[in-house]
């Protein structure tokens, strides 16, 4: 009887881990589409790109999620997943 309870407990824990991992994976895949990479040439308010004018802001590469700017893709993905 004790062996049966241990097996049931282990199976329950495995099911919970799989459910949590599946939820995380589902959110991660959705966030991949929502986090946008912003190259330096699109950051200037005036000019930039091929216009020959100087960019007003030169932040380097960054990532955008819901209007917030993040320096690395990891930070943007973390903000998206745990929003």
- Residues of the chain short of pLDDT 50, as ranges, are 47-48, 53, 55-56
pLDDT at residue 49, rounded to an integer: 52
pLDDT at residue 66, rounded to an integer: 79
**Dihedral sign for Cα atoms in the order 28, 34, 38, 39:** positive
pLDDT at residue 59, rounded to an integer: 59
The dihedrals phi and psi of 16, each to the nearest 5 degrees, come to -65, -40
Q: Which residues contact 69 (CB under 8 A, 6 or more apart)?
A: 38, 59, 62, 63
CA 27/CA 35 separation, integer angstroms: 12
pTM exceeds 0.95 for this model: no
């Amino acid at each position: 009887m004790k062996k049966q309870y241990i097996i049931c407990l282990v199976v329950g824990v495995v099911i919970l881990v799989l459910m949590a991992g599946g939820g995380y994976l589902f959110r991660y895949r959705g966030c991949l589409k929502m986090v946008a990479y912003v190259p330096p040439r699109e950051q200037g308010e005036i000019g930039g790109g091929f216009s020959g004018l100087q960019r007003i802001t030169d932040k380097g590469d960054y990532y955008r999620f819901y209007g917030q700017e993040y320096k690395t893709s990891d930070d943007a993905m973390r903000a998206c997943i745990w929003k």
